[in-house]
Structure 1
Amino acid sequence: MKKQLPALAAFALVAACASRPPVPDDAAGDAFVIERDLAGAHVARGEFKSITGVHRTFTAKLTGTWDGETFTLVEDFVYDDGEKDQKTWKLERIAPGEYAGTREDVVGTARGYQDGRAFRLEYDVVLPSENGNGRKVRFRDVLVKDRGGRVL
């Protein structure tokens, strides 16, 4: 059975930001634990926004599994313009509330932080550019579990 995630806030700030994105005020409820709350099949809506004006919306089918050491999250994206993509996260808990991870397009190691009802994931990706060199950008995703148990 697929779980609906009404809004997966995958707001990617495509720039070097001075501070972490804020946790929404209405995020009361249980702590967000990725191994539990993203396990199984989910459907999400999200968007990428950048300071350069890029704005893309998408639907993602997410499949999460936990083997006791590594949380694997397969993301099947369908962008509203019809483009499709698949990415696979491998996240390992390296300390209480702290994760290190990889994905096929991530430069170096992603860092994840469990922060009460929020999970923050920070990583760099080289995006293709017209000149062929690509542009390294920093992504900062914030996922928040609300009072109803939904992940925003």
Structure 2
Amino acid sequence: MKPSALMIAALALLTACASPNVQQYQALEPKLDLPSYFLGTTHAWGMFQRRGGTVVKRFKVEITGTGDAQQLTLDERFRYDDGTTQRRVWHLTRGADGRWLGRADDVEGEAQGEVAGNALHWQYTLLLPIDGSTYAMRFDDWMFLIDDCTMINRASMAKFGIELGQVTLMFRKANCPA
């Protein structure tokens, strides 16, 4: 029996939508240790792009990390290019299996993350205020440690399974040389 063109197309579409497994980065270095990277002050610069690639918002973030190897608090202070500001405080807990769980006031339920090698894969639903309404947006968030001072983050934002845009950030630890 030959597979139908429709079955092949459906399989290709499902495969294309599948997210990579974070474990494929297990052997890559430098190894990402969230508390080691985020304790103290970290600066970030980022942008939000619509699905078509248009940049609609740029921002800077100052992050203050406190805690220890099991509990980490990240106090994020955003300043957007339109002059608005926002604050998000993450409370992260290392799970027994080495995964990370996170909560913040504008996150619905619990964020779940897994670290392997130089990568962190986060998934969560962020409650975004837009024009007087709040929308629950699903984030598929990937962070990659480049060196001891630099990390790059790319997150896909979706609603009802349809990607609406992407957030790209570059993190730099404050205590690193320029």
| Counterpart position of 2:63 | 62
Structure 2 residues without counterparts, runs of 5 or longer = 1-15, 153-178
Matched, 1:30 2:30: yes
Moved more, 135-144 or 51-60: 51-60
- Counterpart residue identity of residue 77, structure 2: D
User: Cα gap change, 1:54/1:97 in structure 2, threshold over 3 Å: closer, same or farther?
Assistant: farther
Mapped partners of 1:21, 1:50: distance in 2: 22
| Counterpart position of 1:7 | none
Structure 1 residues without counterparts, runs of 5 or longer = 1-16
Q: Percent identity?
A: 30
Taking CA–CA contacts closer than 8 Å with sequence separation of 6 or more, which of the two structures ends up with the larger relative contact order?
Answer: 1
| Counterpart position of 1:143 | 143
Aligned length: 133
TM-score normalised by L of structure 1? 0.74
Mapped partners of 1:70, 1:142: distance in 2: 20
User: Cα gap change, 1:22/1:56 in structure 2, threshold over 3 Å: closer, same or farther?
Assistant: farther
| Counterpart position of 1:49 | 49
Mapped partners of 2:147, 2:130: distance in 1: 41
Mapped partners of 1:42, 1:144: distance in 2: 15
- Structure 1 stretches of 4+ with a deviation exceeding 4 A read none
Q: Normalized per residue, which structure has more strand?
A: 2
Larger CA Rg, structure 1 vs 2: 2
Moved more, 98-107 or 139-148: 139-148
Q: Normalized per residue, which structure has more helix?
A: 2
Shift of 1:22: 8.7
Shift of 1:51: 2.6
